[in-house]
A and B are shown apart, each in its own frame.
Chain A
Amino acid sequence: MDPAKSVWLYECQTGKNVQAAVEPLNRESAKWLCSDWFEPNWWTISDFLNLPEEQPDFHWDWVALLSRDQNKPGRRAVCLRTADGIIQGAMVYRIGVTSALDATKNATFFDRIATAPSNREELVSTPVFRGVGEALLRYAVAESWFYTLGGRVNLFPVVNVEFYVNRNFRRTSVTDPETNDILYELSAEDAESWLRDCGGL
């Protein structure tokens, strides 16, 4: 079985679904996501209605994240690139963490997800693409499936908890001791159902 190679995104201007390629996030691509490496980058290519500086990821150093994880095979990073060459979203994730719902199983953990600022409802009047974050989520579930983890994925929602609960993510007893955020997890049963719904199985 090959891993998934692309995802569907909704292009707001045309009202059509278009494909975006899933690529490993390399150092050059990672620099494009940073606000302070060089310009242009994905923080400067659009006119924003609101202040992008207030976004929680404005100061994330994606290059440093890649360096941190480069010798850790269970840690991966990907980006979604549309045909125009623009990166529409990126994700750093970990394969093989312990499941919080079943400690005898493994899962995939979302370390970081970010959609391009031009796709954020809170920054622009009309996003270029919708569904980027959810596409990354689908891809991670498929990765969990590929690595024989049953599609289990977990994350700290921080905000929009309802979004995940509506997609059957379950509250677990695991918390981050520093932030007190609660870990949510999608079970293998629900992940398989999700993959079937999106045409993956």
Chain B
Amino acid sequence: MAKFTQHSNDSISVVGGSDLPNAMDPTSCDDFGAPANDLDRRLYLLMKLNPDIDLSFRLDDLAAMDDSTKKMLIGDIHSLLHVAPLKSSTL
């Protein structure tokens, strides 16, 4: 169980109001080709952030995949990049 929930108070109540320099923030660009649903968008972004990964499919193929295939693909990307899976889905 997360030990961080044991704190006697929560010192983060509000954060916001300052912004990054534009040069540090490539997320500011609109991308109308991005899929709308959450899983597709996650996979889409994961691949955009890792353009060097050589996978034999195109981003347009996402619509034709079922969810389990998409999750397997995410797992493959993590394996390729040696990203350990989370032990728990509750943090």
Seen from chain A, the residues whose Cβ lies within 8 Å of a Cβ on chain B are 1-10, 17, 19, 24, 55-57, 60, 71-75, 92, 94-98, 100, 106, 109-115, 119-122, 127, 130-139, 142, 145-149, 155-158, 160, 163, 174, 176-179, 181, 183, 195, 197-201
Chain A residues with CB under 8 Å of B44's CB are 73
Known pairs A95-B45, A97-B24, A135-B91; A201 contacts B86 (CB<8 A): yes
By secondary structure, the A interface counts as: mixed
B63 CB-CB contact with A under 8 Å: no
- Pick the residue among A17, A147, A158, A201 that contacts B1 (CB under 8 A): A17
CB distance from B54 to the nearest CB of A (A): 15
By secondary structure, the B interface counts as: loop
CB distance from A125 to the nearest CB of B (A): 13
Chain A residues with CB under 8 Å of B34's CB are 71-73
Of all chain B residues, which has the CB nearest A197?
B3
**A187 CA to B87 CA, complexed, in Å:** 21
Known pairs A122-B13, A135-B91; A176 contacts B27 (CB<8 A): no
- Pick the residue among A148, A199, A200 that contacts B81 (CB under 8 A): A148
Interface residue total, chain B, C-beta cutoff 8 A: 56
- Pick the residue among A97, A139, A149 that contacts B91 (CB under 8 A): A139
**A201 CA to B78 CA, complexed, in Å:** 14
**A151 CA to B7 CA, complexed, in Å:** 22
Of all chain A residues, which has the CB nearest B81?
A148
- Pick the residue among B8, B27, B84, B90 that contacts A201 (CB under 8 A): B84
Assess the A109–B17 pair: CB atoms within 8 A. no
- Pick the residue among B1, B13, B18, B25 that contacts A97 (CB under 8 A): B25
Assess the A160–B12 pair: CB atoms within 8 A. yes
Q: Looking at B2, B7, B8, B19, which has the most chain A CB atoms within 10 Å of its CB?
A: B2
Assess the A121–B5 pair: CB atoms within 8 A. no
**A146 CA to B4 CA, complexed, in Å:** 20
Assess the B10–A174 pair: CB atoms within 8 A. no
